[in-house]
Amino acid sequence: MAKVTHEFDLYGKHYVLETGELAKQTTGAVLVKCGESTVLLTAVVSKERKDYDFFPLTVDFIEKMYAVGRIPGGYLKREARPSEKATLTARMIDRPLRPSFPAGFRNEVQVVATTLVADQVNPVDTICVMAASAALTVGGVPFEGPLACVRVGRDRETGEFIVNPTYEERDNSDLDLELGGASDFISMLEAGADEISEEDMLAAMAFGQEAIAAFCEEEKKFFAKVEEVNGPIQQREYILDEPLPEVHDRIFAHYDEMEAALKDADKLSRIGKVEALKESIRAEFTEEEQAQWSRAIPVELKALEKHAMRLMVVETGERVDGRTPTEVRPLMVKPDYLPRVHGSGLFQRGQTQVLSVCTLGMLNEWQRLDTIEPVDGKRYIHHYNFPPFCTGETGRMGSPKRREIGHGNLAERALLPVIPSEDEFPYTIRVVSEVMESNGSSSMASTCGSTLALMDAGVPLKRPVSGVAMGLIQEAGKTVVLTDIQGLEDFLGDMDFKVTGTTKGITAMQMDNKATGLTPDILRSALMQAHEGRMFILDTMLDAIPAPRESTKDCAPQIISLQIPTDKIREVIGSGGKVIRGIQEDTGATIDIQEDGTVFIAGVNGAGDAAAERIKAIVKVPEVGEEYTGRVVGIQPFGAFVELLPGKDGLLHISRVAQGRVDKVEDVLNIGDEVKVRVLEVDEKGKISLDRIDKPEAPAGSGNGGRHHDGEDRRPREHRAPRRRPGDKGEGAGNGGRQPRRHHDA
């Protein structure tokens, strides 16, 4: 294939699609650029069909650190496991692609996005969907394209929508909406928002749909150029798993039995009944038939279950657990569920149960990120765990899977707009959501449970957040929107639409849509129905904990912030860190000093207060007139050194240690004595002169005519005899009292 390039401008940004030069042994490969950000998208389809009853699609997004001119961190200095952002981007590419392949496609497909340049101005994620769509199309894969993905932002000041905003534009946006799909429907949606209204969100989605259509048109122009240069794109032939009428009819004859088996509110009981029915239906086929139709039989059994569930909803308005379409499952809300942790909350909705735990830490415990994006890290961290026991199954426990990372990110985006700033709440905040039981909407349960945990921990949220998952059934020409979907309705339904927000507006959304007939009216209905559902849930949560606790718990670190002069930082740290280590060891507090002189101190049971007082004492500069009770730390013939504050000594002159004449300081003071003093003077070098308060009388016999053992007269100057220099002959001596110089002959 000869090289083909298509350049175009849309919504104020420049794009390039290119094929025919790189990775020519793939099924299809396209290079995409936005600004200078460059990603190579490759697609490879296996030659043989796999013996699976599902579509084997794999999408990988590879962050290359050379794309930003950086060497990877760590010992190996090589890109290792994908970052959270890379995993989320791979999911973003996967979700619009997957439903666009024909039903029954069983050849393995792998799409790989390799970042070559990340210009730190234009994000590389959304443009990958367009390039993946183009790579599959030029590779002749049977695929319902073209597809595209756009990010929609909204300028906080002007309210104007922005397509694929730069990082700088995103910082000034109150909306971060990613939409993926074709020119006439949306199949994937992710959003984070600063409490915007449903009407504004619908307007942004409509605007995003228009932008997707514009990018799809540019893809068509690119394909036309490819065919003009290289000839028509040859469609490859792949064998699809087609329904077999003889299998379909025999299995669908058991429709009434399947409908009866599905009507059970208990998930495990229902699954048991359905599986038992499927086994009995399978047993009706002979061994030869089961071997002949080994793939068709399980596919048709799944189709029967799907059809029975969907038809029940649209014809009777009743769901498998007996609820109406708008009904929320029974709720259980328990804040402060665990002792000793900083904050916790148990949230249960039906058979979905999540325990969220909040932990507070120092700001220097924020998560550092090593990615190709221009972000250093984050101080609010949300983790979501979905162990196999939560569905009554066995499985491998280990690093989080893509689904767990995606659900954790959704809950994090849901709560991030209401997290207080560092100035308001100088903590790093980590929330972990443990799914204890799952039957759908566990990410929304984790959002609700995490709100409870944060409020229980005393985090001053701007407003509490709740969330609900919406579903859609389109069957027999009818459409029903479902509130609070369970697992079966997610798996066999047409849409999984999660919405989170406060009483003020939406904070996050996520949608996966299999239905091409998702009209604006259906979306509006789903959003409004979601608003009612999440407000109902929020009211139940607020009954249990009306507001964040006024203070953090005793077991949580109390963080105190101080501001010290930058020239005092060295004194607080000490040589080799000796001083600051000593404070931490003595008090048990943790201390973090910033370059601008901001000091954060964390400790429990008053440890922070004790450490703060130590630091204040170190940086304190005594002022004239201040009084102290100090300890004598040194004695010299001319006076005593008194420690006023840690590291701050002043000189108490011998003439001021007592009333009357004192021959030796030791006659009045000894090392270790406490003495009350007043600051008389602080010179330009910081030397401090002291006077003793409530001076005692000098001991009898201490004085010696005012003359001390070092030969210095301690009497007031007016009572002293005139001083003579060496060689003086007395008053009136020649040469001003000086002896004449002696001259020595050579």
Residues comprising the binding site? 490, 496
Mode of pairing for the β-strands spanning 57-62 and 107-117: parallel
CB burial string 543-578: b at 16+ within 10 A, e below: ebbeebbeebbeebbbbbebebeeeebebbbeeeee
Q: Rounded to a whole number, what is the distance in angstroms from the first to the last CA of the chain?
A: 107
CA atoms of 489 and 350, how far apart (whole Å) = 14
Q: Under a CB-based contact definition with an 8 Å cutoff, are residues 63 and 81 in contact?
A: no
CA atoms of 447 and 437, how far apart (whole Å) = 15
- How many Cβ atoms are within 10 Å of 33's Cβ, its own excluded? 22
Which letter does DSSP use for residue 100 in this model? Answer: G
CA atoms of 540 and 332, how far apart (whole Å) = 9
Select from 443, 375, 374, 376 the least CA-distant residue to 415: 443
Residue 733, phi-psi category: left (phi > 0), alpha (psi -120 to 50), beta (remainder): beta
Residues placed in the known binding site for Mg(2+): 490, 496
CA atoms of 467 and 447, how far apart (whole Å) = 6
Which letter does DSSP use for residue 706 in this model? Answer: T
CA atoms of 430 and 443, how far apart (whole Å) = 16
Beta bridge partners of 352: 349
CA atoms of 735 and 725, how far apart (whole Å) = 13
CA atoms of 671 and 172, how far apart (whole Å) = 63
- How many Cβ atoms are within 10 Å of 700's Cβ, its own excluded? 7
- ∠ CA(350), CA(356), CA(361), 5° rounding? 170
- DSSP secondary structure of 443-459: HHHHHHHHHHHHHHTT-
* H or E element, residue 281: helix 267-283
**Amino acid at position 599, single letter:** V
CA atoms of 176 and 179, how far apart (whole Å) = 10
- How many Cβ atoms are within 10 Å of 119's Cβ, its own excluded? 18
Beta bridge partners of 161: 154
Structure tokens at 223: 């394909």
